[in-house]
Structure 1
Amino acid sequence: MSVAALLAASLVSVTSPQVASAANTFTNPLSLHGPDPWLKYFNGFYYLATTTWNQTITMRKSRTLGGLATAPDTVIFRLTRPNGAGTMWAPEFHLLNGPNGQRWYLYYVAGREPFNLNTQRIHVLESTGLDPMGPYNFKADMLDPTQNNTWELDPSILQLNGRLYLLGTFFNGSQPNFIRPLSNPWTASGTRHILSTATFGWERVGGAVNEGAEVLQRNGQTFIVFSASHCSTPDYKLGILRYNGGDPLNQSSWVKSPTPVFQRNDANRVFGPGHNGFFKSPDGTEDWIVYHANSSPTQGCDINRTTRAQKFTWNADGTPNFGTPVALGARLPSPSGEPTG
């Protein structure tokens, strides 16, 4: 082989991995109007749903995480019921066992029109098959069997010790998280119990708020990551509960960390990071967090909060380490196992 050929071969071997690495990256945001994001990877695609603040539930679909930024918002359901006709917030879709086998159950918040916060309640749809984008049919209003005269927000699902629970938040003078047992994905089997209240100063900026409870399970441990302080402040942030055994309906079965686990990063111009979800990389080897945040400390709590995602790791004691929120536009490696072409 000539010297020129050897040099060319050497250049190819050095530069090719770098080119592949550069191609397999993405930047935040994943949606410019994306509060309360919920993101899952399923059967080769990412699916993203966020608050729309109107009468529709929409979803984006993409083979790559970065592709969600330009994927269209497809309407998958229109709200028509009088007691849940609009102001759609905080959609989450969970693959659960129903009477016809596994189905997607899409939980969301909606109320009467014109908007009245006091009418916001949790509702649920059921898919006809295994496509996260539906079609869906309305299944039930997720009202508390004995305390249905107050609004409830931010639904999520906990599966623990073979049982099913609904998580959410309500108002009782302050705003605590609740947990309610379910007999199936759409039916309560008991009333709500308080899961966590705003007890620390970092949970009480702008109001005493715990909301957006999200489940994270690994190696036999169960955590609930929740949003704290009022969403209109730049100090909206994440806290964490750890399950220590016993009845999950008892507040004493959960231990709250005395410090937040994810919060504003002024250097990176990230304010109010919260209302998160979790998803796995395509090859199942990485854990990722999706959340919304603002780029200004005065931006507030509206439809202009942007959807962002980043990888997180685990501490030696088995607790999650979310690090610090990264700046918009920072180029990040894509989730492991994504297609490169």
Structure 2
Amino acid sequence: MAVFTEVSPAQAQVLLDHLQLGTLSSLRGIGAGIENTNYFVDCTGDDGHLHRYVLTLFERLTAEQLPFYLRLMQHLAQRGVPVPEPHADAAGEILFEVAGKPAAIVDRLHGGHQLAPDAFHCDQVGATLAQMHLAGRDFPLHQPNLRGMSWWRQVVPQLMPFLDAQQAELLTAEMAFQEHLAASAEYAHLQAELSGPIHADLFRDNVMFEPGEGPGRERLTGFFDFYFAGCDTWLFDLAVCLNDWCIDLSDGRLVEERAAVFVAAYERVRPLTGAEHRLLPALLRAAALRFWLSRLFDLHLPREASLLKAHDPRHFERVLRERIARPWHALPGEAQA
């Protein structure tokens, strides 16, 4: 969500006029993130009230790929999952062009991030994640996880020259482990029967909460930033979440109490199968590997962008080493929020 492409107020107003959303009052670039150009857009509608949106210009994804993401958000929103719904024009189109780039405008969620979550927050995210997975089962479009195994195989040779001997050894060994897992019959069953559209990047900064009832209690208002979404195993999506929502950020250690609550909340909506319970430790490693690779790539092979700041890859190197050293199995019903 860095600013790669500058958008003028006049350019933004053209899209607002096309969508009949009102008169622009504020346009502000969003500095967090590394994939797309994003702006907060505030405008005054015909009703005289202030309305808030997010304008996204897509820097890597193509016009052929983008309908998957935007229609998925539309599909989920229409089924009651709290996600930003893209705005359509009179013809039902939701993908446009701004400053020469594919673009879309979506509702801005209320609230703010919870960057120090407790079990209460993990319970809400876990249950909503399962709701999202079930709601996506009848989504008609398909696109693979573009940061999955095929991408790993492509970037590992490019990254090896930047690694020290211990890092190279870790990466080589983990790729061999994940290749073996991907070739297994049990994993093939997950792909065939227990998969569908996933968020694939549901970190703490991609979920919004607002104040709720009771002191210190917050209500989840939505998931956003679906532009890493793809079709993959639901278990991988769960593992991505556990590796962010349920860890000690200082050392990557899994906070098992929080993780147990997260999984229990997920299972209230969609119980995991025996195969999923068995494979969860391996998928936690896969999720850590995916983000170690992407952070290495963004650090060593970056693109230029205004406000761009790459994340430290050492964090997910620590997470991966932790998941290898201390595999974690979630036991059904072991914790409740």
TM-score of the pair, normalised by structure 1:
0.24
More strand by share: 1
More contact order relative to length (CA 8 Å, sep ≥ 6): 2
More helix by share: 2
TM-score of the pair, normalised by structure 2:
0.24
